């Protein structure tokens, strides 16, 4: 199974552990990823708010390259996936854009979660798992962009998505029921409205603690960054200590595959998950 791979800016910078763990998981389950040659920024998260032409033009270049190669595209970053899907939709619907960008829409644009949830790959994940994460209590956090805008992402269920639930169950984790699967963490307001990010992120963290989750699991770099990096600020503001690990789905999958590089990914987190994972017997205590 082959895909053109669009890492996007975050996976080459602040979310390197997502890039590394995603590539590792794909290697373990027999998925070949070919990074789109000379890819450029898709415009997330500001281009669509600033310039309607750039909103389509930036992803169009990469989409046309991928279409020439001929493989479907997988974009693990939720923001990149939305921007590429939105550009594809606009090009298909607007003649002026089609004349400028000869993208024919002959390839699929998939999120990392949707790709991993393919029936054949879920079967491989179960078959090739080495260390089931039994006893690890997790809450899946999809965030906004995994299911919205609905007309662009076209999720099976925008209010109660289950793909990540299924994948976490496939690696043996205990998936807890909670009401904040798709609530907003503040997204790209981290600098302009930090107060809102702290308020929204605290609400999500508090609910995870209420249901006694060991960790929050996501595939969105922006969500991971907000929930991981803001816990110290929230602790200072509230006087309550927050130490909730915020893990990428593919990091846990790598752990279940007994990938020796997992500890290197965890080192990049502000809130280290190692004590929780060691306490559950999935890592050596340091």
Categorize the per-residue pLDDT at 67 as very low, low, confident or very high, splitting at 50, 70 and 90: very high
Categorize the per-residue pLDDT at 97 as very low, low, confident or very high, splitting at 50, 70 and 90: very high
CATH number of 117-279: 3.40.50.11810
Question: Of all residues in the chain, what percent carry a pLDDT higher than 70?
Answer: 99
CATH 3.40.50.11810 positions along the chain are 117-279
106-147 pLDDT, tens digit per residue, is 999 999 999 999 999 999 999 999 999 999 999 999 999 999
Residue 63's pLDDT is what? 98
CATH 1.20.1050.140 positions along the chain are 2-113
261-285 pLDDT, tens digit per residue, is 999 999 999 999 999 999 999 987 5
Residue 285's pLDDT is what? 58
C-alpha count within 13 angstroms, C-beta hemisphere, residue 113: 30
180-189 pLDDT, tens digit per residue, is 999 999 988 8
CA-CA distance, 223 to 221, in Å (whole number)? Answer: 6
User: How much is the average pLDDT of 142-155?
Assistant: 96
Residue 75's pLDDT is what? 98
Q: Is residue 90 scored above 50 in pLDDT?
A: yes
CA-CA distance, 118 to 286, in Å (whole number)? Answer: 36
Question: SS3 for 39?
Answer: coil
Residue 190's pLDDT is what? 84
Categorize the per-residue pLDDT at 163 as very low, low, confident or very high, splitting at 50, 70 and 90: very high
Question: Of all residues in the chain, what percent carry a pLDDT higher than 90?
Answer: 94
User: How much is the pTM?
Assistant: 0.97
Specify whether the CB–CB gap between 109 and 80 falls below 8 A.
no
CA-CA distance, 253 to 129, in Å (whole number)? Answer: 8
Specify whether the CB–CB gap between 172 and 129 falls below 8 A.
yes
Residue 95's pLDDT is what? 96
38-64 pLDDT, tens digit per residue, is 999 999 877 877 899 999 999 999 999
Residue 47's pLDDT is what? 80
CA-CA distance, 173 to 168, in Å (whole number)? Answer: 6
CA-CA distance, 69 to 52, in Å (whole number)? Answer: 27
CA angle (265, 126, 12) in 5-degree steps: 25
User: How much is the average pLDDT of 195-212?
Assistant: 97
Containing H/E element for 45?
none
The architecture CATH gives domain 2-113 = Up-down Bundle (1.20)
Q: Is residue 286 scored above 50 in pLDDT?
A: no
Strand order in 2-5's β-sheet? Answer: 32-35, 2-5, 73-75, 109-111
User: How much is the average pLDDT of 211-218?
Assistant: 98
Rounded mean pLDDT of the chain? Answer: 96
């Amino acid at each position: 199974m082959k895909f053109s791979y669009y890492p996007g800016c975050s996976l080459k910078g602040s979310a390197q552990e997502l890039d590394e763990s995603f590539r590792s998981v794909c290697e373990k389950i027999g998925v070949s990823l070919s990074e789109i040659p000379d890819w450029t920024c898709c415009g997330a998260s500001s281009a669509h708010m600033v310039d309607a032409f750039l909103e389509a033009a930036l992803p169009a270049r990469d989409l046309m390259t991928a279409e020439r190669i001929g493989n479907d595209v997988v974009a693990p970053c939720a923001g990149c996936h939305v921007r590429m899907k939105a550009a594809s939709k606009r090009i298909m619907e607007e003649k002026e854009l089609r004349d400028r960008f000869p993208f024919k829409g002959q390839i699929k644009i998939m999120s990392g979660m949707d790709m991993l949830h393919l029936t054949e790959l879920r079967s491989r994940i179960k078959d090739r798992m080495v260390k089931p994460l039994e006893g690890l209590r997790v809450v899946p956090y999809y965030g906004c962009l995994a299911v919205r805008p609905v007309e662009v992402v076209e999720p099976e269920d925008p209010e109660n998505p289950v793909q990540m639930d299924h994948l976490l169950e496939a690696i043996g984790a205990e998936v807890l029921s909670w009401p904040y699967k798709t609530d907003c963490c503040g997204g790209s307001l981290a600098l302009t409205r930090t107060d809102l990010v702290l308020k929204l992120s605290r609400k999500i963290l508090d609910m995870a603690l209420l249901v006694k989750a060991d960790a929050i699991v996501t595939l969105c770099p922006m969500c991971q960054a907000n929930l991981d990096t803001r816990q110290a600020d929230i602790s200072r503001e509230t006087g309550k200590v927050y130490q909730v690990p915020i893990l990428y789905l593919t990091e846990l999958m790598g752990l279940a595959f007994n990938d020796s590089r997992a500890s290197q990914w965890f080192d990049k987190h502000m809130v280290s998950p190692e004590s929780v994972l060691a306490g559950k017997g999935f890592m050596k205590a340091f």
